[in-house]
């Protein structure tokens, strides 16, 4: 495969978006450059990011004529239609790929309209951001999704979204989008999680790890309710609450720290070295999420031999091999408690299952994923517009 020039357009380059662009740049065999903006003010990034990146792109053209991109790879936070319009003298014949980390149509809204991303609309979804995603997908030559669940749920919701408008609903475009889209999972850099030495045999109560964001879409209330039930039953455990927080510490977390007391061995964002240590110490990791288009943090925990207790929905059935679904995936609150209780009462058995799963999820490592990325980038780059 011959090398091509890839230009990644990432207007919200932080969190999972940022680690994805960094991993792609580090592992790709192609010449990969990135135009990026900081991960803040997400609504403004979806509006103005295209203008700023277009300006940067045009400046780049005048300085680096020998490195013209063969393909553009944009993330879902970019208004691709605006970017292409502002750069058309240079990009009219460059194939484009849109990578959908998330979307603004099926992202769940909070029950309380006073919190979350749409609070200014009093809990109602602002469809303009969904339309930016939709129009960008139409403008791209190829659309990639990080999971089959993400692709299927968005394509299923698009007809309802388009029927919202009074005429010329363009429903046939859904089939067009389906035909030019596919699934390519996020690569995860597992090497940075390797423990320099095997973790010591546990002599303290089993450790439960929460490594989800401390926000409504991850549903921490359900997680804490399960812990309180186990406390009432007399099940012994420790807990590390290392999910990321934005702004001041949530009241829910403050209350949890009081209720859980000395069981909490860590609270708050964990720096890389501490996070790696907690991953290897943990017996079990739990998700109660209402939203998950992929699940990097869960894969990180599984790779470090931590037993996962996850909902039987969203992207999780794709991450967990089917022979382990019954053991790891739950349908309701009772199923969550049953699996969590088993892992805490039988920690050695849970670790044995976790070790098997660690081998199974190693396929998501960048070293294994990058071949599919590079092949697809080269294939799309070979289909120059107007000269297929």
Task: Considering only residues 218 and 245, tell me which one the structure prediction assigns the higher pLDDT.
Answer: 218
Q: Which of 204-208, 255-259, 316-320 has the lowest mean pLDDT?
A: 255-259
388: confidence class by pLDDT, cuts 50, 70, 90: very low
Confidence (pLDDT) at 321: 96
Q: If you search the block for the tokens 């190829």, which residue do you land on?
A: 142
92: region left, alpha or beta (phi > 0 left; psi from -120 to 50 alpha): alpha
All domains in the chain, ordered by first residue? 5-188+366-381 (3.40.50.2000), 190-364 (3.40.50.2000)
Question: Could you write out the DSSP letters of every residue in 194-250?
Answer: --SSPPPPP-SSPEEEE-S-SSGGG-HHHHHHHHHHHHHHT---EEEE-----SSPP
Q: If you search the block for the tokens 């996962």, which residue do you land on?
A: 308
Q: If you search the block for the tokens 């029927």, which residue do you land on?
A: 163
Checking if the pLDDT of 118 tops 60, the result is no
309: confidence class by pLDDT, cuts 50, 70, 90: very high
Confidence (pLDDT) at 75: 98
151: confidence class by pLDDT, cuts 50, 70, 90: very high
Q: What is the pLDDT averaged over residues 319-340? A: 97
Confidence (pLDDT) at 125: 77
pLDDT in tens, 3-48: 999 999 999 998 889 999 999 999 999 999 999 999 999 999 999 9
Q: What is the pTM of this model?
A: 0.92
Where are the extended beta strands (E) located within 70-185? 71-75, 96-100, 142-145, 181-183
């Amino acid at each position: 495969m011959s090398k091509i020039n890839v230009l990644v357009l990432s207007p919200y380059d932080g969190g999972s978006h940022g680690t994805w662009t960094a991993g792609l740049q580090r592992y790709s065999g192609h010449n990969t450059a990135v135009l990026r903006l900081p991960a803040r003010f997400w609504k403004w990034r979806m509006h103005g990011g295209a203008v700023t990146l277009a300006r940067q792109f045009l400046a780049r053209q005048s300085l680096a004529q020998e490195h013209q991109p063969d393909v553009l790879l944009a993330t879902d936070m970019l208004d691709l239609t605006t970017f292409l319009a502002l750069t058309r003298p240079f990009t009219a014949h460059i194939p484009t790929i849109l990578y959908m980390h998330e979307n603004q149509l099926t992202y769940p809204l909070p029950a309380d309209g006073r919190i979350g991303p749409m609070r200014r609309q009093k809990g109602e979804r602002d469809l303009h951001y969904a339309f930016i995603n939709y129009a960008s997908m139409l403008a791209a030559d190829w659309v990639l999704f990080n999971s089959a669940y993400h692709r299927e749920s968005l394509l299923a919701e698009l007809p309802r979204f388009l029927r919202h408008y009074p005429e010329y609903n363009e429903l046939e475009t859904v089939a067009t989008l389906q035909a030019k889209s596919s699934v390519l999972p996020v690569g995860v850099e597992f090497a940075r999680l390797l423990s320099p030495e095997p973790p010591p045999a546990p002599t303290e109560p089993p450790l439960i790890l929460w490594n989800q964001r401390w926000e409504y879409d991850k549903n921490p209330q359900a997680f804490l309710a399960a812990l309180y039930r186990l406390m009432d039953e007399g099940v012994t455990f420790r807990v590390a609450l290392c999910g990321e927080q934005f702004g001041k510490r949530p009241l829910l977390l403050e209350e949890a720290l009081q209720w859980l007391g000395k069981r909490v061995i860590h609270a708050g964002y964990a720096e890389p070295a501490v996070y790696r240590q907690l991953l290897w110490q943990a017996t079990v990791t739990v998700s109660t999420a209402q939203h998950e288009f992929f699940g990097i943090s869960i894969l990180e925990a599984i790779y470090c031999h931590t037993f996962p207790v996850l909902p039987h929905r969203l992207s999780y059935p794709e991450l967990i091999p089917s022979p382990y679904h019954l053991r790891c995936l739950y349908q309701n609150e009772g199923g969550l408690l049953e699996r969590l209780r088993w892992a805490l009462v039988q920690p050695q058995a849970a670790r044995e299952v976790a070790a098997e799963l660690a081998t199974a999820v190693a396929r998501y490592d960048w070293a294994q994923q990058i071949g599919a990325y590079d092949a697809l980038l080269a294939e799309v780059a070979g289909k120059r517009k107007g000269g297929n």
